Amino acid sequence: MFRFNEWVIEKLLIVAATVSVVIIALIIFIVFRTGLPLIVDEGVINFLFGMDWRPRAHIFGIFPMVIGSFLVALLAMLISVPLGILTATFLAEVAPDRMRKLLRPVIELLHGIPSVVYGFVGLMLLVPFIRTHLGPPGFSMLAGAVILAIMALPTVITISEDAIKAVPRSYCEASFSLGATHWQTIRHVILPVARSGILAGVVLGSGRAIGETMAAIMVLGNIPAIPDSVLRPIRTLTANIAMEMAYAPHGPHRQALFATGVVLFVAISILVVISNRLRRGQ
């Protein structure tokens, strides 16, 4: 028996399900359509590796921003990954029930705090601290890295913890029965088995760090130059877009900001694909 109602509903549901694909297609179409012509005109090499960003003179080189995004994300992950993996291990293996119940909402809240609030904390707390104790100007790669590290923590912790919990209990029991201590089991059995899942969390966390805008803008100082120390200000790709979109007139300058978006989008997409592969490989 053919039921018309059921048929209509199923088709409506299919349409709703495809909306997210339509959105991603629209984003790609719109951002690339505006940005790509400029990259082609300037030449990929000139745009990506150009050292000068002088929109008024129509010189668009984003290499300092590429390096800025990369370095600050790398430094953030150097802080976030060890702390995140240790905390995940703590939660999955060592923490007593009460501690776990306390930390879970803490991590959720850290995940939920808006990035503009993180940026604000960085601006009010970290930037002055660095300025007085480590040297001016305070607005620096270090300040950004610390804030981005905290912001990436929940992602790293949650995904690593899932990966650790997915390790079959029998592996641990086998290790214990051979006389291994708990820590030996964690180090030589659990963490190696969970490696690919943990890596997925790390990759996803670095994606978050590279894509972060507000916190970056507020503490990094936003000077488009390649830094010679972690105390120097830098500008990220995201900051480049957010700072200049407000006043960029219609024309090449605005196109160059969309082109910056193209580069950012491609970089993030690569990280998303890698992270998915790793998670499936587990």
Partner 1 sequence: MISARSSEKVAKLLLWVSGLAVLAILLLIVGFMLIRSIGVINPEFIFGMPTEGGRGGGILPMIVGTLLLILISVLVASPIGIAGGIYLTEYAGTHPLSKIVTFGADWLSGVPSIIFGLFGFAFFVVFLGWGFSILSGGLVIACMILNEIIRTTQEALKTVPASFREASYALGATKWQTISRIVLPSSAPGILTGIILGIGRASGETAAVMLTVGSFMALPTSIFSSVRPMSVHLYLLAIAEVHPGAVERSFGTAVLLILIVLIANFSSHAIMRRFTQPMFHR
Residue 258 buriedness (CB in 10 A; 0-12 / 13-18 / 19+): buried
What does the alpha-carbon distance between residue 253 and residue 47 come to, in Å, rounded to a whole number?
13
Residues 6+ apart with CB under 8 A from 120: 218
CA-only gyration radius of the chain, Å = 23
Query: Which C-beta is closer to partner 1: that of 188 or that of 229?
Result: 188
Closest to 73 in 3D by CA, of 262, 267, 265: 267
Structure token digits, residue 60: 């668009």
The minimum distance between CB 241 and partner 1, in angstroms, equals 5
Query: Which C-beta is closer to partner 1: that of 61 or that of 207?
Result: 207
- Report the relative pairing of strands 53-54 and 59-60 from DSSP bridges: antiparallel
The minimum distance between CB 85 and partner 1, in angstroms, equals 9
The minimum distance between CB 26 and partner 1, in angstroms, equals 7
The minimum distance between CB 128 and partner 1, in angstroms, equals 11
What secondary structure letter does DSSP report for 233?
-
Query: Which C-beta is closer to partner 1: that of 183 or that of 229?
Result: 183
Structure token digits, residue 76: 């953030």
Contact in structure between 225 and 64 (CB atoms under 8 Å): yes
Query: Which C-beta is closer to partner 1: that of 29 or that of 49?
Result: 29
The minimum distance between CB 228 and partner 1, in angstroms, equals 26
Query: Which C-beta is closer to partner 1: that of 20 or that of 177?
Result: 20
C-alpha distances (whole Å) from 76 to each of 5, 12, 140 are 53, 44, 13
Query: Which C-beta is closer to partner 1: that of 75 or that of 267?
Result: 267
The minimum distance between CB 164 and partner 1, in angstroms, equals 12
